[in-house]
Structure 1
Amino acid sequence: MKKRFILFSLLLMCSIGICLAQSENEKVFEKKEAALTQKLQQSFEENNYQEVEKNSKALIALFNEQDKETQKRHSWVLQSYYYNLACAQSMLKKKEEALKSFRLAWQNGCIDYQHILRDTDLDNIRKEKEFEEILAQIKKEGDYLYILQKSPRYAKNEQTDTLPRFTYAAPNDSNLVKVRQYFQLDSVAGNGDEISQIKNILTFIHNKIKHDGQHGNPQQMNAIALAEACKDGSRGLNCRGLATVLNECYLAMGFKSRFITCMPKKYISDCHVINAVYSSTLNKWLWIDPTNNAWVTDENGTLLSIQEVRERLRDGRPLKLNEEANWNNREKTTKEEYLDNYMAKNLYYVNCALRYEFGTEDKKYSPDNYIALMPEGYYNEMEKGSYIVYDDAWFWQAPY
């Protein structure tokens, strides 16, 4: 069973992290933490729960030795330390200690409700009254599908006359012509129909540039500069960088496309950025995710939009993830973890840019070049300065 610290690392891979200057103390802490985490991983793999307990306690002690600034910037790690400790103590049948550690994991931010439900290492304390009480509190914050299903609906017929319009650069733009040539997109797309070309370009970018959420993206945020930075294979891009590259590839081939930031109700550790590309064949925007080489269909195999996926999650209708979906060609992406949990968290509201062109985010546009679609009656301060709309029909308007 993979433990919390592993899952949290995967979440960070999708975040829009900001690189800050590190102190020498912080660098030493991270080096020691990495060594202890490796030992912890090995002890989990060997099912040596005495060593798991020992290494988890060592990580907690290491954290407590740090200065306040380092602790503040790494405060999220405590939840994983205490969660792993709770798992080890549960397996060692130290019930009182395990319950105490589990409570501390929750108090320090551990709310991965679906993972907790599945984690067999906690079975020895699962029927304890204290465990049930803590889990009930976690459900309120961490059962993301439940939270999404309880969210308000969008407003209809909202007054939108004063809102700006979405714009998309034409494929004959000189910089987009360079993108088309750089990635050899005519060959990549192939001679098939529109849908096959959209999928071919997605898979090409997914295979060409690995997903890497452990580092910030390069300073230049256009498709060619981003690809060049990753050319030697020593690094990749986070989800926003990948979606930026793919977006410009679609624009270069004449597809109207946006990169969409999918946001949780309450920002905890991360969000996720994917693409919406407009299909003239289906007359709608399609869910396209370069991080996971993913698209989503209904029970009949019809490709779905981000909006359609969100509403099907809300009302429990069937969703299917493509068989090819994977992370870095190393791990299969499953519908249960990806859609029912991770994206259920990140579809509470969405935001995107209003202008799409080569180097959209190189332009350093002010916040009012961005617009967020929120459920009626909801507002998030993270979107301060951006346009806010509650009418999903306006937000997902056709580009033609």
Structure 2
Amino acid sequence: MRRRLPFLACLLLHCLTLRAQQAPSTAAFDAYCTTFFKEIQGLSDAKEYRQILSRYPEWEAKYNALGAADKQLFRGALANNVDYNRACYYALLKDRPNAVLSFRQAVEHGYKNYSHAKVDSDLDLIRGDKDFQQQMALIREHGDFIYVLQQAKGYAPNEARKLPAFTYQSADEPHLVALRKTYKLDSIAGQGNEVSRYINLLHWVHEQVPHDGNHENPAVRNAQDLLRVCRAEKRGLNCRGLATILNEAYLAMGYKARFVGCLPKDSTDYDSHVINAVYSPSLQKWLWMDPTNDAYVMNEQGQLLSIEEVRARIIDGRPLLVNPTANWNHKVSKTKEDYLYQYMAKNLYKLQCPLSSQYDLETRGATKSLQYVTLLPATVGAHKPAVRNTQDGPTSFTLYNTSNAAAFWQKP
């Protein structure tokens, strides 16, 4: 398969995250990357592989002239857009030694896309090479996210350490009452069964505010204020902000709900996701709802699934379906292949949610004390303390760890 530079869009999106704080050299290199890799794509489409290889030293020279922080920011481009693609072009030119060397350099610089490298026909020339196979084994531990989940060895249902009870704020709380009335949530939820009401509210939040992962959320973090600020400033929110709005909408309607942080195994990977879990009394389980992607997940019979069920099915290979309307900002459709088997498989290694589900939970304050619970695989949880206390400015945190999935997903 010819190079389509799949990492470029992700790289540029990440670079834009700190655009407001970038030094001029950073912004200039960002713009240079856009122009350079478009040129490379054109040459690739024309199969001018030798010319491409002659162009890479120019990019590397500019990269090497960057400061340490900028090098780290653009390291992904080095691994994905230069080293990996160079390995492909050398392989297409039947230059086995340089193809193997370039692939090793890609891995050394952080290349992790195991699933792509596994099927990329451009690399067929070197698949039998021992060095290539060793490098593939290395990136499998970091980039084959289903394999990483499978190696986690499950949870510890008989774990002795106890958790405090999860709590859910009553719909009678004045701010939640105001949210329900102001936005006519009863009408939005509709008169259908409970699952249809959950989905209607999911769609509503998705339509109210676009996802914007490039900026911090406003300091005041409750649904009313977040909606007001986003409308006034014509701005979006990151996934945590969207999940906060949906969570409070569910609470305002009297539905027991949590927002759930979905975290990768790699502690240096800061790309995580936050979705919602709303409890269905009729189905007797929590249901997956993702306002960022307007997504919920089903089995082969079309029955809605919980986060726990989705994770288990990813691990053991049972079928999964994503609603056909799932999308990112009405620009990118979400399929099970990219959404579940790549992105969410990476981010379902650890799960975290607050003990108290309530209005304005994460607005910081001098008297604020927040409590969170993290669900860890048994192999990880055995080495973590049961409780840890920490401080972030004036806000104190109590962090509980557990490997008991039943305790984490206890019924409300």
| RMSD of aligned residue pairs (Cα, Å) | 3.0
Distance 1:269 1:103, change over 3 A: farther
Quote how far apart the aligned CAs of 1:203 are: 1.3
Counterpart for residue 393 of structure 2: none
Counterpart secondary structure, 2:274 = strand
Higher relative contact order (CA 8 A, sep 6+): 1
2:239 paired with 1:239:
yes
Counterpart for residue 406 of structure 2: 393
Counterpart for residue 27 of structure 2: 30
TM-score when scaled to structure 2?
Answer: 0.84
Distance 1:378 1:68, change over 3 A: same
Q: Is the 8 A contact 2:75 2:110 kept in 1?
A: no
Q: Is the 8 A contact 1:312 1:318 kept in 2?
A: yes
Give per-residue Cα distances to partners, 1:25-66, cap 9 Å, x unaligned: xx4223322332244146426725557556654443222111
- Name the CA distance, whole Å, in 1 between partners of 2:58 and 2:369: 43
Higher mean C-alpha deviation, range 329-338 or range 275-284: 329-338
Unaligned runs of 5+ in 1: none
Aligned length: 392
Distance 1:141 1:300, change over 3 A: same
Higher mean C-alpha deviation, range 67-76 or range 32-41: 67-76
Counterpart for residue 372 of structure 1: 374
- Name the CA distance, whole Å, in 2 between partners of 1:224 and 1:84: 47
Give per-residue Cα distances to partners, 1:350-383, cap 9 Å, x unaligned: 1111111122110458786011111213148799
Quote how far apart the aligned CAs of 1:21 are: 8.5
**1:1-400 alignment to 2 at 5 Å?**
2-6=4-8, 8-9=10-11, 22=21, 24=23, 27-41=24-38, 43-44=40-41, 47-48=45-46, 50=49, 53=53, 56-72=56-72, 74-81=74-81, 82-91=83-92, 93-161=94-162, 163-231=163-231, 234-267=234-267, 268-363=269-364, 369-379=371-381, 385=389, 386-399=399-412
Quote how far apart the aligned CAs of 1:201 are: 1.0
Q: Which has the larger radius of gyration?
A: 2
Counterpart secondary structure, 1:199 = helix
TM-score when scaled to structure 1?
Answer: 0.87
Give per-residue Cα distances to partners, 1:81-118, cap 9 Å, x unaligned: 43344344444555443333322221121111112224
Instruction: Tell me which amino acid in the other structure corresponds to 2:287.
Output: L
Residue identity (%) = 41
Counterpart secondary structure, 2:380 = coil
Counterpart secondary structure, 1:377 = helix
Distance 1:371 1:325, change over 3 A: same
Counterpart secondary structure, 2:231 = coil
Quote how far apart the aligned CAs of 1:395 are: 0.7
Instruction: Tell me which amino acid in the other structure corresponds to 1:67.
Output: G
Unaligned runs of 5+ in 2: 390-398
Give per-residue Cα distances to partners, 1:179-221, cap 9 Å, x unaligned: 2234332222112111111111111211222222222222222
Counterpart secondary structure, 2:251 = helix
